Amino acid sequence: MPVKVLITWNVRPGREQEYFGYVVGEYLPEVNRLGLNVTDAWVTVFGNQPQVLIGAIMPSLSEARKLIKSTAWLDLTDHLQEYVRDFKLKLVTQRGTFQF
Instruction: Flag whether 100 is in a domain.
Output: no
Q: How far apart are CA 29 and CA 26, in angstroms?
A: 6
pLDDT, tens digit, 9 for 90 and up, residues 1-55 = 899 999 999 999 999 999 999 999 999 999 999 999 999 999 998 888 999 999 9
**How many domains does one find in the chain?**
1
Burial class (CB in 10 A: 0-12, 13-18, 19+), 69: exposed
Instruction: Flag whether 48 is in a domain.
Output: yes
pLDDT, tens digit, 9 for 90 and up, residues 45-94 = 888 899 999 999 999 999 999 999 999 999 999 999 999 999 999 999 87
- Cβ–Cβ contacts within 10 Å for residue 64, how many? 22
Instruction: Flag whether 21 is in a domain.
Output: yes
pTM: 0.89
Q: How far apart are CA 61 and CA 40, in angstroms?
A: 19
Range of the domain at 50: 3-93
Question: Which domain CATH number covers 43?
Answer: 3.30.70.100
Instruction: Flag whether 98 is in a domain.
Output: no
Instruction: Flag whether 24 is in a domain.
Output: yes
